[in-house]
Amino acid sequence: MQPSKQKKKGKASQLDLAKPPKPVFHEGHLQVCIIQAKNLPLSERFTKKDLCVELTVGNAKKTTLTTNKGGYNPIWKDTVHFKIAGIGKSSMLLRVKEGGKITSDELCSCAIDLTRVFEDEEFDGWYPLLKRDKAAGFIYLEFTFTPA
């Protein structure tokens, strides 16, 4: 009987491993400093464009100030703030867009996992940007999370 009990126990633990992790609840204030981007992609009509960055966490959407003729290596040095409360707000969608237009064209984007930011409370680094699944430069961000 011992071996059969062990076998059942082994199967149960494998099933436990297959379960998706429980959603994590985070509550607090997230500050994101959008510093600069580098090596943004060319486009046929790319001259020194006015660019902005749109950030989305859950249903909250924030946009930076627009750079004036930012070109390939725009500098924003702008800060946006998010109130974080709830389950499932552990990622951020970032889009670099042409600013100053009613319908902004997306130049490139990336998705950022905020788990490390919530754990470390301060984190910064270069994040790779993509355009149609191809490398499209990098953006430098500084995160500060203050738990409630």
Examine residue 133 and state whether it is found in any structural domain, yes or no.
yes
Structure confidence at residue 5 (pLDDT)? 44
Examine residue 8 and state whether it is found in any structural domain, yes or no.
no
d(CA 19, CA 5): 22
- For the stretch 5-12, contacts whose Cβ atoms lie closer than 8 Å and that sit 24 or more positions apart, written own/partner, are none
Examine residue 4 and state whether it is found in any structural domain, yes or no.
no
Give the predicted TM-score (pTM) of the model: 0.79
Across 106-122, average pLDDT: 93
Say whether pLDDT at 78 is over 70.
yes
Examine residue 119 and state whether it is found in any structural domain, yes or no.
yes
Say whether pLDDT at 35 is over 50.
yes
Say whether pLDDT at 17 is over 50.
no
Structure confidence at residue 13 (pLDDT)? 42
Examine residue 83 and state whether it is found in any structural domain, yes or no.
yes
Q: Return all residues near 49 (Cβ < 8 A) that are at least 6 apart.
A: 69, 70, 71, 98, 99, 107
Give the structural domain span for 94.
23-147
Examine residue 2 and state whether it is found in any structural domain, yes or no.
no
Say whether pLDDT at 38 is over 60.
yes
Examine residue 94 and state whether it is found in any structural domain, yes or no.
yes
CATH code for position 65: 2.60.40.150
Examine residue 111 and state whether it is found in any structural domain, yes or no.
yes
Give me the number of domains the chain comprises: 1
- Give residue 119's region: left, alpha or beta (phi > 0; psi -120 to 50): alpha
- Rounded mean pLDDT of the chain? 82
Q: Token pair for residue 43?
A: 């486009």
Highest mean pLDDT among 17-26, 38-47, 135-144: 135-144
Q: Within its chain, how far is the Cα of 93 from the centroid?
A: 5
